Structure 1
Amino acid sequence: MADFDRYGTCTHTAEDLVRLVSACLGVAFTERESDYRGVYHVADLDGVRVEVQPNEIPGDDEDEPCNAANPECHVLVLTTTPLPDPTLRTRLESVEGLVHLGHESV
């Protein structure tokens, strides 16, 4: 089973969010680059994966939002945990300007 949460902001840049989430969770992010996702940041800690990425995904003609339901959020924070983690959610929701956008368990 895996648990996924999606957060977004329209007030912070990706770099700001990396700094804020690093301080909030005590994790270090690694910058990565992908043709599909653009530049994004990843932190792994004890089975928890946290990613900070732009909502606009680079494309051939025009950028398309990764999260089309919330195009106003220009930066996303994505979390993957083995089980629901209410403590992680509470800590991330304490970051000013970061809003919980969705949850999925599979």
Structure 2
Amino acid sequence: MTDHHTYGTSTHTASELVRLVSNRLGLVFSERDSDYRGVYHLAGTSNERIEIQPNSIPGDHEDDLYAPEHPSAQVLLLVTTPSPDPALQDRLDSIEGLTHLDFETA
């Protein structure tokens, strides 16, 4: 079973959110560049993955969003863990301006 959580913010830029999450979780993010995703930030271990990226999809269509159901979220925080992690969720929920948007278990 894998837990996927999506958080969003319109308060913080991606780099501000990287700093906040790094401080809160003690993680080091690496910046990545993708033709499909644009610049995003990745941290985690072999069991957990935490990504921060803009909600807008790079390219010709500026209105295209990764999470079109949440157009007000300018930056997304994507968390994947092998099982529910309530302590991690509590630490992320404590970041002002960050909103839990979606959850699914696969």
Specify if TM > 0.5.
Answer: yes
Q: Which runs of 5+ in 1 are unaligned?
A: none
Secondary structure at 2:33 match in 1: strand
Q: Which runs of 5+ in 2 are unaligned?
A: none
Residues 71-103 of structure 1, C-alpha deviation per residue, up to 9 Å, x if partnerless?
A: 101000000000011111110010110000010
Residues 16-57 of structure 1, C-alpha deviation per residue, up to 9 Å, x if partnerless?
A: 000000000000000000010000000013611100000001
2:41 aligned residue: 41
1:80 aligned residue: 80
2:25 aligned residue: 25
| Cα pair 1:49 1:81 within 8 Å, conserved | yes
| Cα pair 1:27 1:45 within 8 Å, conserved | no
| Cα pair 1:9 1:76 within 8 Å, conserved | yes
In structure 1, distance between residues paired with 2:63 and 2:33: 16
| Cα pair 2:56 2:62 within 8 Å, conserved | no
TM-score (norm 1): 0.95
Q: Percent identity?
A: 57
What letter matches 1:86 in structure 2? P
Q: Which structure shows the bigger proportion of residues in strand conformation? A: 1
TM-score (norm 2): 0.95
